[in-house]
Amino acid sequence: MAATILDVAKLCGYSKTTVSRAFASPELVTEKTREKIYRAAKALNYTPDAIARAMVRGRTDNIGFIIYEKQYPVVLNPFYSPIFESVLQTCSQKGYSLFISSDRELRLPNGQACVKKQMDGVILAGHSDEQIVTDLRRQNMPVVLLNNALDMEDLLCVTTDQYGGAALAVEHLVERGHRRIGLLAGNFSPHVYLSRYSGYCDVLQKHGLKIDGRLIRSIEPTVEQAIAGAAELLSMEDRPTALFCTNDTIAIGAMKAAIRAGLRIPADLAIVGYDDSENSRMIEPELTTVRVDKTAMGAIAAEHLIAQIEGEPPRKEVIQTAVELVVRETT
């Protein structure tokens, strides 16, 4: 069996309280005492038990990150991974560890949602529903929403301006003189899909350009589907001279289709992506895209969640992080 605090106490002659303090708050113990205790601990290979500690303190210093998106996998998702990374950094700085969970870990045999693992709060990313949030909060589990906004009391949501970002992209294309602008729209969650779609339509209309359904394709956001979709668009007689793609992966597919069709970018075809993911600078020429402040999104969500865990009252707010057009070489 592993040694417990009591074994150490016996061996060094101090009480278990003092041993506890030597590890949890070393400054409350004389240096001499501390050293004796450490020596005894080492001899016994003693290490404080994290679970027992969490039990009595009533907290774990862990937070959970849960993603609800069709476009798995989480960590490989070029949009979510920088957010996750940012959450990770922020948590680590504040002394929290991060749990990455699926919704599987949120179901009890009785169907109720709950946190089956040891965590003090949860970041729900993607299209989580109100029920989950309600269940979790009834159990006093602090919750923050990421990349999703739900209209609920005391609920903090961190999102970005989907509509504005799309508008930025299309405006830019119009400014560059394009009149036939295609749309390659990824099948994201309804809110994201619709916002970007509306941004595209509204800007066209604002400039008196008509919306041509033949220039619009809804696809899964994979390179393969984007290549196929773009190829179709580019083979049209009156093909578009520019493409707005609702994420960078799609844009890259479109670029590939164009390059393979012998078109020069941006001379023959202009392309704008969305997200400013790492990929956008990998491809050559580098992609003009809409930057979403993913680092801010992650940091804000984590900070607010931690504040809540540490006692600040939750408040209702939708925080929209900035979007910005990054003009590179494809327009």
Partner DNA sequence: GTGAAAGCGCTAACAG
Partner DNA sequence: CTGTTAGCGCTTTCAC
What minimum distance in Å lies between the beta carbon of 1 and a copy of itself?
A: 9
Which of 285, 299, 297, 277 has the alpha carbon at shortest distance from 328? 285
214 binding partner (options a copy of itself, DNA, none; Cβ < 5 to 8 Å by kind): none
- Strand pairing category for 242-245 and 288-292: unpaired
Beta strands in the chain (DSSP E): 62-68, 97-101, 122-126, 143-146, 156-160, 181-186, 216-219, 242-245, 270-275, 288-292, 317-321, 323-326
Least distance in Å: CB of 24 to DNA? 4
Interface with DNA (CB under 7 A), residue total 30
Number of CB atoms found within 10 A of residue 109's CB = 5
180 binds, among a copy of itself, DNA, none (CB under 5 to 8 A by kind): none
Q: Which residues pair with 323 in a beta bridge?
A: 292
Is 8 a binder of a copy of itself (CB under 8 A)? no
Does residue 30 sit in helix, strand or coil?
coil
- Yes or no: say if 143 and 122 are a contact pair by the CB < 8 Å rule: yes
Asked if 236 touches a copy of itself (CB under 8 A), the answer is no
Options 4, 16, 81, 231; binder of a copy of itself; rule CB under 8 A: 81
Coil/strand/helix, residue 267: coil
Strand-strand pairing, 323-326 and 288-292: antiparallel
Which of the 8 DSSP states describes residue 127?
Answer: S
Q: What is the DSSP letter of 279?
A: G
Burial of 105 from C-beta contacts in 10 A (0-12 / 13-18 / 19+) = middle
Only segment of 155-163, 165-173, 184-192, 255-263 that touches a copy of itself (CB under 8 A): 255-263
Cβ proximity to DNA: between 41 and 250 the closer is 41
Q: Which listed option, a copy of itself, DNA, none, makes contact with residue 179 (CB within 5 to 8 Å by class)?
A: none
- Residue 59, helix vs strand vs coil: coil
Local structure of residue 219 (DSSP, 8 states): E
- Rounded to whole angstroms, the Cα distance separating 22 from 41 reads 10
Tell me the sheet residues that pair with 67: 125
Q: Decide if residue 282 touches a copy of itself (CB under 8 A).
A: yes
Q: Does 256 bind a copy of itself (CB under 8 A)?
A: yes
* Whole-number Å distance between alpha carbons of 8 and 31: 17
The one-letter code for the residue type at 175 is E
Chain centre to alpha carbon of residue 242: 29
Stretch that binds DNA, among 3-11, 174-182, 189-197, 252-260 (CB under 7 A): 3-11
Selected binder of DNA within 43, 55, 108, 322 (CB under 7 A): 55
How many residues lie near a copy of itself (CB under 8 A)? 62
- C-alpha–C-alpha distance, residues 67 and 268, integer Å: 39
Query: Which one of a copy of itself, DNA, none is in contact with 212 (Cβ closer than 5 to 8 A by kind)?
Result: none
- Per-residue binding letters, 15-34, with DNA (x by CB under 7 A): xxxx-xx-xx---xxx-xx-
- Could you say which of DNA, a copy of itself, none residue 279 binds, taking C-beta under 5 to 8 angstroms by partner kind? a copy of itself
Binders of a copy of itself among residues 58 to 77 (CB under 8 A) are 60-62, 73-76
4 binds, among DNA, a copy of itself, none (CB under 5 to 8 A by kind): DNA
Interface residues with DNA (CB under 7 A)?
1-2, 4-6, 13-18, 20-21, 23-24, 28-30, 32-33, 46-49, 52-53, 55-58
Interface residues with a copy of itself (CB under 8 A)?
2, 22-23, 26, 38, 41-42, 45, 47-48, 50-52, 54-55, 60-62, 73-76, 81-82, 84-85, 88-89, 92, 97-102, 104-105, 108-110, 112, 114-119, 138-140, 223, 252, 255-256, 259-260, 278-279, 281-284
